[in-house]
Structure 1
Amino acid sequence: MEKSSPAYITGLGIISAIGANVSENRAALEQGQAGIGPATHLKSIHPFPVGEIKYSNKELAEMIGCLDTFPRTALLSIKAAKEAFAPFMGKTEGLNIGLISANTVGGMDLSETLFEAVAERGTFDKRKLWYHECGSITDLTAHALGLEDCWSTSISTACSSSANTIMLGAQLIEQGKMDIVIAGGADSLSKFTLNGFNSLMILDKELCRPFDENRQGLNLGEAAAYVVLMSEKAVTQTNAAKLAILSGYANANDAHHQTASSPDGTGNQLAMLTAIKQSGIALEAIDYINLHGTGTANNDSSEGIAIEKIFSGIPVPDASSTKAYTGHTLGAAGSVEAVFSVLAIMGSKTWPHLRMKTPISGLNWQPNTQSVAKEIRNVLSNSFGFGGNCSALVISKV
């Protein structure tokens, strides 16, 4: 299909354990400064380290001018979405605008309090149930942006969720159905997710070590991140700077297991190859890979094998995982790492891979533990989730 317009990335917004905005996140990446440690706001009997955002719900609400009774996921979502879209407010008259937001926990942090209320008082505030569903986060975000009358939808495909929002947003731009799409996602920490991942026995009791031979699992994190995608028409009207372009994307499924990647990386490989093919660039033109790299034995091995197969016979590009900085932020991970990929292009440098001491045996390549300063024209950003959901984005310099 002929594209009505490319999908340009013109706005970025993020809040994570390493910073409350784009500039703070960039500085932490440049300094190799991680944000993982003991939980403060999440109350749990488990001492697992997490990538927790340091602000309370009340502090977040004050930052964005919202009620602190909103779910934490919504507060994070609104914070990042406002940062991304703020430069264009008041400049979009006559343009078709959409919001695509991802999450996996919805208002679970509030839902968990209902069980406690029933146990203590025999009843609970039924109004909080409205926030439980994932779509409520999208509704609250749209309202905070003044987009309640615009088209919006939610995506929840586990850890690939927000990467898929960016894909769908690009498709809508390319097909001429939208002029602007705000795409991304958010997830907050909750007892539900911590206990769930603990039951799978894939949480590291120490700081995670993606792609290390002795890796023991992942650290959960919380974050929100959005990108603003625009058509050429919208770029002209809003006088936006073209930060990057989404040149390729793909989603695949390896149909292997509910919570594990296939050992040979079938879905991972298919998603990456299809995204690169769609971008129209050669394998050698990939300058940097933002790895999914969670720190689990299965995931890192599967992704590593898939990359080795794809780049067989040629050098594997510089690569690193940024989850050692933020923790695994689940539904927000894809958009968090899309923002980090754009920052790598803008800053002409890769982000250092943290805490890897012994590379995975059997792989013929390894991530870069030091930042590499160079022109970055094309970044491959991977997001692989439960249920075999494998997504890959190719983000390119304009």
Structure 2
Amino acid sequence: MQKQRERPLRVLVTGIGVISALGKNVEENHRSLVNGRAGIDNAMHFESHYASVLPFGEIKISNEVLKQELNLDGEPGYTRTCLLAVKAFEEAIKDAGLTSTELSSFDTALISASTVGGMCLTDQLYEDANLRSDGSEYLEAYGCGAHTLMLAEKYHINGFTDTINTACSSSANAIMLGARLIKAGRAKRVIVGGVDSLAKYTVNGFNALKILSESPCKPFDENRDGLNLGEAAAYLVLESEDIVGNKKVYAEIAGYGNSNDAHHPSAMSDEAVGAMISMKDAITSAGITPNQIDYINVHGTGTPNNDRVELLGISKVFGKVPPFSSTKSYTGHTLGASGAVEAIFSILSINYSEIYPSLHIETQMDGFLAAPVQSYQNNISVKYVLSNSFGFGGNCTSLVLGKVN
């Protein structure tokens, strides 16, 4: 008699934490989303020529206040990137009720993501690198993975650790890798997410690409003219279903897909090749069909190339396009943190049966019948959400987050 195949192990989300321009915790972020209140405005703490010229999704909390709230006064080497990471990380592990023993277990892994890392201190990095200083307290903090090492040291994490930088898909890939580790039996629990803070390094770079908007971004509007950069940190605690017990469970990481069309260093292929592959693979790995997706949290940066290509890919994959919107119209583009931020927003949609609209839409895009959700919707069934994160170099990642019955 042939042995019946066991059901695949499920990866469940038991804790979430986020800090963004919408608020310093999950509750504040959720309230801003429900009220349609964007966090894109003039910068208060980011020192740059462009701070007085361009709007940003800045977190309106200074480094000094963050240090005080996190009891890190006198602790050297904590860049803003590190501070934001600790803030969101602490909320996530407390939400999941993780003990110090569980954190230090070799069955617990940490996978974080960032694009700018400690280079948020662009001027200080320049001084140190060119021997114009005596060596600042940040000499070991400039690397992309410095915040991950600090988290591992601070919380005594002994298991597998890694830092991912695949541009704007970074923390979505962290979530995907974490889920795969659990499914493969390499870890019982993985804390996943990402962080990026505003930096001259990235602002000047994006400005050189001429894709920064001088007004709050309007993804999927015919007259969109670019993105707004933001900063954020977001972490999720993923646990194998066989250790969750009676814990509160927010959602399941039901599926994931990743591709790379390698079309251009900073633009997606005109035919949406990579985007379509990542979406199809995510839906297939979730064991569902496209018509079971209730909502898409799109990558939706507000640039002419991204929005046209993404909507083209969605239209080809789905035919009848489900409700979709871009929450970057609230937070700005938080780069390496965006995948985790938007995964949490997708989880909020599932848990509260609601969809948050794209903001600032005035004119529907030419050549498409589908348009983003433009008003807050609640009391609707949201069982499966597709969350897209597309990065430079055509690195495309899609996640399917599912409701847990």
TM-score interval (norm. to shorter): over 0.9
* Secondary structure of the corresponding residue to residue 133 of structure 2: coil
Give 1:112 deviation, angstroms: 2.2
Partner of 1:280: 287
Give 1:371 deviation, angstroms: 1.9
1:220 aligns with 2:253: no
Give 1:6 deviation, angstroms: 1.1
Give 1:282 deviation, angstroms: 1.4
The 3 A distance-change label for structure 1 pair 227 and 182 is same
What letter corresponds to residue 261 of structure 1 in structure 2?
A: M
* Secondary structure of the corresponding residue to residue 98 of structure 1: strand
Partner of 1:254: 261
Partner of 2:147: 137
For structure 2, the 5+ residue unaligned runs are none
Q: Are the equivalent residues in 1 in contact too, given 2:85–2:147 (CA < 8 A)?
A: yes
Give 1:352 deviation, angstroms: 1.2
Partner of 2:179: 170
1:8 aligns with 2:16: no
Q: Are the equivalent residues in 1 in contact too, given 2:128–2:136 (CA < 8 A)?
A: no
Give 1:255 deviation, angstroms: 1.5
Partner of 2:328: 323
Give 1:94 deviation, angstroms: 5.7
* Secondary structure of the corresponding residue to residue 255 of structure 1: coil
* Secondary structure of the corresponding residue to residue 277 of structure 1: helix
Distance 1:282 1:118 in 2: 52
Partner of 2:383: 377
1:55 aligns with 2:61: yes
- Identity value in percent: 48
For the aligned residue pairs, the C-alpha RMSD in angstroms reads 1.8
What letter corresponds to residue 58 of structure 2 in structure 1?
A: E
Partner of 1:345: 350
**Equivalent residues in 2 for 1:100-179, closer than 5 Å:** 100-116=111-127, 122-147=132-157, 149-179=158-188
Distance 1:391 1:263 in 2: 17
Give 1:5 deviation, angstroms: 2.1
Count of equivalent residues = 392
Q: Are the equivalent residues in 2 in contact too, given 1:58–1:68 (CA < 8 A)?
A: no
Aligned partner (choices 5, 17, 21) of residue 17 of structure 1: 21
Distance 2:240 2:218 in 1: 39
Deviation per CA, 1:352-394, whole angstroms, max 9, x where unpaired?
A: 1110110111012010001222010000000000011100000
What letter corresponds to residue 98 of structure 1 in structure 2?
A: A
Distance 1:2 1:65 in 2: 47
Q: Are the equivalent residues in 2 in contact too, given 1:6–1:174 (CA < 8 A)?
A: yes
For structure 1, the 5+ residue unaligned runs are none
1:77 aligns with 2:88: no
What letter corresponds to residue 278 of structure 1 in structure 2?
A: S
Aligned partner (choices 34, 39, 47) of residue 43 of structure 1: 47
Partner of 2:33: 29
Distance 1:74 1:123 in 2: 22
Q: Taking structure 1 as the reference length, what is the TM-score of the superposition? A: 0.95
The 3 A distance-change label for structure 1 pair 118 and 372 is closer
The 3 A distance-change label for structure 1 pair 94 and 298 is closer
Give 1:2 deviation, angstroms: 7.3
Q: Taking structure 2 as the reference length, what is the TM-score of the superposition? A: 0.93
The 3 A distance-change label for structure 1 pair 240 and 89 is same
Distance 2:41 2:76 in 1: 24
What letter corresponds to residue 393 of structure 2 in structure 1?
A: G
Partner of 1:300: 307
* Secondary structure of the corresponding residue to residue 107 of structure 1: helix
Q: Are the equivalent residues in 2 in contact too, given 1:210–1:294 (CA < 8 A)?
A: yes
Q: Are the equivalent residues in 2 in contact too, given 1:95–1:234 (CA < 8 A)?
A: no
Deviation per CA, 1:40-69, whole angstroms, max 9, x where unpaired?
A: 111111111000001111111112222374
Distance 2:105 2:203 in 1: 44
Give 1:126 deviation, angstroms: 5.0
Distance 2:83 2:159 in 1: 20
Q: Are the equivalent residues in 2 in contact too, given 1:78–1:144 (CA < 8 A)?
A: no
Distance 2:101 2:140 in 1: 33
Distance 1:190 1:292 in 2: 21
* Secondary structure of the corresponding residue to residue 395 of structure 1: strand
Q: Bigger CA drift: 43-52 or 155-164?
A: 43-52
